Amino acid sequence: MPPKLKPLDQQTIVITGATSGIGLATAKGAAAKGAKVVLAARSEQELSQAAEEIRSKGGQVATVVADVADKADIERIAQVAKTQFGGFDTWVNNAAASIWGRLEEISSEDSHRMFDTNFWGVVNGSLEAVKYLKQHGGALINLGSVASDIAFPLQGMYSASKHAIKGFTDALRIELEEENAPISVTLIKPSAINTPFPQHAKNYMDKEPKLPPPVYEPEEVAVAILHAAAHPERDIYIGGGGKMMSTLNKNLPSLMDFVNKKVTMKLQARDEPPRNPSGSLHQPSNDGKVHGDHPGYVMKKSLYTRATIHPVLAGVAMAAVLGTTVLALQNNKDNKSE
């Protein structure tokens, strides 16, 4: 039996990596729906800015300066949630970093730091959240990626970390289900998202990094995260393009390798020099932005994602389209017979 999750306006939601991109979009969306939010990130300045904006709109928020790679910091996040709001109902492991560059070029120091954030940050957050949620029930939501299923060239270490997150999350879900723990465990798999992510990455290339299409707005990921906070889901892909690539990679891996080799390699760099090669891998960014400046087309919504999280509405819509089509065909037939 799936866990019963509270409505959003009755929840306290913990969000790591909460001061930019997907995390900040989710924090704003959750607060707008009446949830209390606990925001965690490395930058005190960005946390203060985010909290001020949320409070100005009537939201309830607590902040924690924390590095998810540090277990003691993770424990402090949980403690703040308990002290400020009496606990939490959903924990979102969102903090992440990336590196653009060929695998042979990347230093061990940078690779280890990225795994400390992406993988060990999720492990630390998940295990801390589970200790509390086993007693009270709720949702654990981990941010994977389409890169959890596909290996992207020039983001090899990032892809490896997201593969590791998928393996950990799936195994944890099975173990919790086996002991009937009242916890919903969801893995979110975004496609490329228009956040400051490329500018925050450590960049070994001689050009500014760029996300390969299709690219979606971060609010679409926030919609899926907040849906999973109130409705048990196993996996949610953000974007039909990402789901298509994942399916293609599963069934025709050699073809996907060919596409990545011939196409994706060329789509991950702008025709301009690097802006900030160091990125925020080893220090906070201090920009506090939800959106990036992707130079190509950005989709505001994904019909595929909306259909997966609202299957009844999708069914109604498909039935309406089918009914309209049948009626049009019948009218056309009748007109021809006159």
Of 158, 204, 216, 237, the active-site residue reads 158
Rounded to two decimals, the pTM is: 0.91
Which tens digit of pLDDT belongs to each residue from 72-89? 999 999 999 999 999 999
Residues paired with 64 in a beta bridge: 40
Q: Provide the 3-class DSSP secondary structure of residue 51.
A: helix
Task: Classify residue 286 by its DSSP letter.
Answer: -
Confidence of residue 287 (pLDDT cuts 50, 70, 90): confident
Question: Is-contact 68 96, C-beta < 8 A?
Answer: no
pLDDT at residue 325 tops 50: no
Q: Residue 331: what pLDDT?
A: 53
Structure-token pair, residue 195:
């956040």
To the query of whether residue 158 is one of the catalytic residues in this protein, the response is yes
pLDDT, mean over the chain: 92
The contacts of residue 118 (CB under 8 Å, 6+ apart) are 95, 96, 97, 158, 161, 162, 164, 165
Sorting pLDDT into bands at 50, 70 and 90, what band is 321?
A: very low
Residue 300 predicted with pLDDT over 50: yes
User: What does R_g of the chain's alpha carbons equal in angstroms?
Assistant: 21
| Model confidence at 312: pLDDT above 80 | no
Q: Which residues contact 155 (CB under 8 A, 6 or more apart)?
A: 98, 99, 100, 147, 268
Percent of the chain's residues with pLDDT above 90: 89
Instruction: Give the residue from 308, 235, 228 showing the smallest Cα distance to 6.
Output: 228
